[in-house]
């Protein structure tokens, strides 16, 4: 990368796939750079739940040290197959076709990137998959000026739980005027 505005070549390939498929829910660059930064501080195994076209995995891979493994699960088999082709020559990344729970066999994780809304509600399950000091990154919340956070007139109970659960030290970060993510470290 020559400047903070460029993206790594592998990320570019996953974004090309997103364009080809009309896939519009890929991780944005700001979140990707955060994932790469966190990955650089991790060892062991990192997991992504919900691969999409592989953007998050590519950012994690761009930051991770040699020897750090990345596993990512995608429920849509045809999408998983396309992404597997992109990562076929990336030794430390495995794209798994199947439900996120298929990644349990690779646990414990030093970082989990949770990018499926329904999975975020599985806080007990996710806490059990993280090693002590392990980090969960939960993407794509709607920014809210209220506490507890309110979206469409309803309390966002999932975000509220992640930010208050005693098993984690957590913070919400604005990544744009209208979007935020949560980073939660397992005590």
Ligand X SMILES: C[S@@+](CC[C@H](N)C(=O)[O-])C[C@H]1O[C@@H](n2cnc3c(N)ncnc32)[C@H](O)[C@@H]1O
Applying CB under 6 A, which residues contact ligand X?
A: 25-27, 48-52, 55-56, 73-76, 79, 99-100, 115-116
Which C-beta is closer to ligand X: that of 55 or that of 170?
Answer: 55
Contact 32, 57 (CB under 8 A): no
Q: Mind giving me the DSSP string for 122-140? A: -HHHHHHHEEEEEEEEEEE
Cα distance between residue 162 and residue 123, in whole Å = 7
Closest approach, Cβ 166 to ligand X, in A, equals 27
Distances in whole angstroms, Cα of residue 45 to Cα of each of 4, 10, 52, 69, 119: 26, 19, 19, 5, 19
Which C-beta is closer to ligand X: that of 23 or that of 172?
Answer: 23
HSE of 170 in the Cβ direction (CA atoms, 13 Å)?
23
Which C-beta is closer to ligand X: that of 27 or that of 61?
Answer: 27
Closest approach, Cβ 119 to ligand X, in A, equals 6
Closest approach, Cβ 44 to ligand X, in A, equals 20
Q: How many CB atoms lie within 10 A of CB 147?
A: 9
Which two three-digit tokens encode residue 56?
Answer: 């998050």
Residue carrying the six token digits 């493994």: 69
Closest approach, Cβ 50 to ligand X, in A, equals 3
Which C-beta is closer to ligand X: that of 27 or that of 180?
Answer: 27
Which C-beta is closer to ligand X: that of 12 or that of 148?
Answer: 12
Which C-beta is closer to ligand X: that of 25 or that of 164?
Answer: 25
Closest approach, Cβ 60 to ligand X, in A, equals 9
Closest approach, Cβ 15 to ligand X, in A, equals 9
Contact 140, 56 (CB under 8 A): no
């Amino acid at each position: 990368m020559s400047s903070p505005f460029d993206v790594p070549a592998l990320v570019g390939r996953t974004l090309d796939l997103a364009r080809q498929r009309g896939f519009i829910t890929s991780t944005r660059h700001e979140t990707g750079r955060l994932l790469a930064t966190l990955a650089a501080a991790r060892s062991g195994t990192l997991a992504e739940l919900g691969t999409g076209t592989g953007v998050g995995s590519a950012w994690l891979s761009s930051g991770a040290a040699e020897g750090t493994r990345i596993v990512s699960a995608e429920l849509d088999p045809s999408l998983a197959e396309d992404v597997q082709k992109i990562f076929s020559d990336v030794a430390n990344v495995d794209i798994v076709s199947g439900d996120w729970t298929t990644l349990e066999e690779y646990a414990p994780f030093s970082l989990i990137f949770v990018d499926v809304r329904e999975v975020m509600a599985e806080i007990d399950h996710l806490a059990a998959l993280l090693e002590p000091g392990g980090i969960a990154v939960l993407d794509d919340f709607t920014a809210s000026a209220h506490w507890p956070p309110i979206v469409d007139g309803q309390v966002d109970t999932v975000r509220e739980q992640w930010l208050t659960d005693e098993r984690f030290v957590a913070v919400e970060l604005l990544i744009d005027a209208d979007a935020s993510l949560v980073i939660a470290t397992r005590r």
